[in-house]
Chain A
Amino acid sequence: MGKIKVRVKINGKERSDEVEPRMLLAHYLRDVVGATGTHIGCDTSNCGACTVVMDGKAVKSCTVLVGQANGREIKTVEGLSQNGKLSKIQKAFLDKHGLQCGYCTSGMLMASYWLLKKNKKPTEEEIRRNLSGNLCRCTGYQNIVEAVKYASELIEKEGEEEEVVVESQ
């Protein structure tokens, strides 16, 4: 199969690779980039474990061909903490016990990160609706909702993290 060249900025770092055009962004991140924090939990775009933020918008990376990501900027769970310091949404998930097995967590974090970018003070209903594309089998969601609320409070109190710009290679 012929290959295509893609140039993608991942967590602030630019890279280019030659890949099969049929490759999904989720597999590209996991198998080519080695960013295995992005998980795959289904094959029908239902579960949201593979959620990443592409050009500022949450997408399910199992539904994006890597060619569609060409020239774009991707943020994955690995890009949430800055200089070894957990971001507010990560801290909130830990403090509110918003995870158990950890498998859906990356997608939950990225969907929540995006939600809080567009809506700094979401209501409980808005949180639940915005996370409806991310399935969790362990927590019953209550603590995840609490965590997003708590992160929203932290952001209100302390402000958003500054995005650290990583120099491209």
Chain B
Amino acid sequence: MITGQKFVEGKGTYVDDINLPGMLYMAIVRSPYSRAKIASLKGGLNSSDYEGRMASVGEGGSGEINIYSEPVFAQGYTSYLGQPVAAVFGEDRYKAEDLLNSVDVEYEPLKPVMEIDAALKADPIHPGTKNNILIDKWVGKEFKDTSSPIVLEDSFYNRRVATNPMEPRGVVATYDGNRLTMWASSQSSQSIKEGLVEAMNLSPDSVRVIQADTGGGFGLKGGLHPEYVIAAHAAMKYKRPVKWIETRSEHLSSSNPGRGARADIKIFAGKNGIINGVTGEVYVDAGAYGGFGEFAPRFIAYQLTGPYAIPNGYVRAIATLTNKVPQGPYRGAGRPEASYFIERMVDLLADELKMDPADVRIANMSSEPFKSPLGLEIGAAKPFFQDALKEFEYGKRFTSDTAGLGFFVLVPGIGPGEGARIKIEKGRVKVWLGGDTAGQGHQEFVRTLIREELGIASDLVELQLGDTDAVKRGVGAWGSRSAITAGAAVIAASGKIKDMVIKDFGDYSPENALSGSYDIDHFEEMKGTLNSFGANIAVADVSPLGAIRVKDCWSYYDVGRVLSKESVWGQIMGGIVQGIGQVVSEEIAYSDEGELLTGSIADSGVLSADQVPNFVVKVAENRSDLPHGVKGLGEAPTIGVPSALVRSIEKVTGKRIRDTPVRPEDIAEDF
């Protein structure tokens, strides 16, 4: 049974449930314009009090502060709708909201730069910079292909989507004159600490970040946000605890959304369906500042051959600055985009050659491991895919007339490893991990591993929430990495405890271990790749007006060894709905003038129970070489589902689909 008793009793302690004596509530004055000059600003805490910039930490973070780093408060001008301009503090949340009116800001709106193409042509959005190109690199090796008879080109766009964890962001900060303590809804207390230390120029010893129960993360809660720095600064300045809880409206305007990537792709192929080369440009809409956008385009380009043995590849990876909230990682974080782009091209090739999409895929798979010209290392794809077709009863239950296939390689974020601490005391075991669980159920794999490694019953083992004082070094829970890396750290720490028990007692037994006191904090260094395959098949139903309903969605993923069936199935089924959402409804949209068109969580397209069917989930348990045999998992569904579903919509409507979400006007019958 999965642990969750405190949650069904309403006894969780999320960050908004933490109340400290004398606590102030913080509310943020945000730019109502996507781009504006701040002609005058009076009131609140603002850039005249605090001039710092954000540090880029967490998934894909460079650890740096550079000229593209977001200022904590807008300085002289605003660069996205929702950007923090000032902060106010009240005795309760209503008074804090009231105080927003006490800040007097005069804006002179400017014409915003809202899309990638416009950004490439427009004058720089930031004075003192040359252009709106955040990054521009080539990946792979230039090649010439004059002999392939089939050359296909197309363009695709995965528009921005909100991460939308059900619990929005939030922190409580307090300062005792020496140390700053911050409770956060978090995927990585370690990264938030690192960010505060760098952005605020504090000594690492003077900052402690503690995770509260965390109501979902999906990429958003792994790094630093301006509001966290403001709350920390205010707690130090006013010498009172400060709470900030994001509203959903703030989430939609001001938290880092994911996707926002476009590609122009060209493939060269033979008439037998074999792809000889892929080239093109990947563009990421980084939003107004650097951070994840500096990493994303290269990460997408690197994966652009997908699970296929394509011998040539040369891809330009560009991120542009626009007047939107900075882009961030969202479940998959570059992996779904790459998979979508290549899968769309493979389906296009199947149509061109009038081949079954499954056959075109097989024609491009190796029975041996393969290293792509873009640097991606994959195992033998063909045997897995052939199994997937069998599991899907492809050709019988599903046919290419209506069903769409998606085949992908999942690249988990392994380096540089992860930390874990195991403490045995008074007959009980406490475990801390370097990355923070946000609902994935890390407790389950920890209990499984402790039971296997130390022979200790699960009811004696409790996973603790993240705490930078409890674990010396840690990374974070993202990139399908936790069971792999934190699991390996738990095993290594268990091994050390075993050795100590043997030293004390002459031999190891769980009873001996539980009768002693042991405390091991271990960082397991890990590098290299541990890529795994997955496949989806989906069938859509489309109404004449263009409303999409998913009839069937099956998954077959190689998850390695399953440590907790509930967690694995839970991750897959939840991810499927996010994958469907990206295709049928999810979007953070702006008008050309920079108005935010997405006004509520309903507008942002999060699907409800009556909009999705039951799913069929199958897994291959091909053990990895790790001691615990696991592979990556968490992001598999958001990678595999969109391309499968889009293909089905294409087959059902007869209309070529290029962009997500698929809008009703793209597919409605012509009247």
Residues of A within 8 A of B (CB): 20, 22-23, 27, 30-31, 35-44, 46-47, 49, 76-78, 80-81, 86, 90, 93-95, 97, 99-106, 109, 125, 127-129, 131-145
Contacts and interface: CB of A to CB of B under 8 A. Distances in A.
Interface of B: 1-2, 4-14, 16-17, 92-94, 164-168, 213-216, 218, 247-249, 438-441, 566, 569-570, 572-578, 599-602, 606, 608-612, 614-615
Given A22-B94, A137-B578, A143-B570, A127 B9 contact: no
A143 B441 CA distance: 15
Contact of B165 (A43, A81, A137): A137
A101 B166 contact: yes
Given A102-B439, A134-B609, 20 more contacts: A20-B94, A41-B168, A44-B249, A44-B602, A77-B8, A80-B9, A95-B1, A97-B2, A100-B440, A103-B14, A103-B215, A103-B216, A131-B610, A135-B166, A135-B601, A135-B606, A137-B216, A138-B574, A139-B574, A143-B569
Majority-rule SS of B interface residues: loop
B601 A47 contact: yes
Q: Report, nearest first, the 4 A-B pairs whose CB atoms are least far apart.
A: A37-B10, A101-B439, A103-B215, A102-B7
Contacts of A38: 10
Contacts of B248: 41-44, 47
Contacts of A23: 94
26 contacts: A20-B94, A27-B94, A36-B17, A37-B11, A39-B167, A44-B600, A46-B601, A77-B8, A78-B11, A97-B570, A99-B4, A100-B570, A101-B167, A103-B14, A103-B166, A104-B166, A104-B215, A132-B610, A137-B574, A137-B578, A138-B570, A140-B576, A141-B577, A141-B609, A143-B570, A145-B614
A94 B4 contact: yes
Contacts of B438: 101
A140 B612 contact: yes
A85 B6 CA distance: 13
A131 to B, nearest CB: 4
A27 B7 CA distance: 19
Contacts of A134: 608-609
B608 A131 contact: yes
A31 B600 contact: no
Contacts of A143: 569-570, 573
Given A100-B440, A102-B7, A140-B615, A94 B2 contact: yes
Residue of A36, A38, A86, A137 most packed against chain B (CB within 10 A)? A137
Contacts of B165: 101, 103, 137
A84 to B, nearest CB: 10
B10 A144 contact: no
A161 to B, nearest CB: 14
A142 B617 CA distance: 11
A131 B614 CA distance: 15
Given A101-B165, A135-B601, A86 B573 contact: no
Residue of B166, B218, B599, B614 most packed against chain A (CB within 10 A)? B166
Nearest to A101: B439
Residue of B575, B578, B599, B610 most packed against chain A (CB within 10 A)? B610
Nearest to B9: A81
A22 to B, nearest CB: 7
B26 to A, nearest CB: 15
Contacts of B575: 140
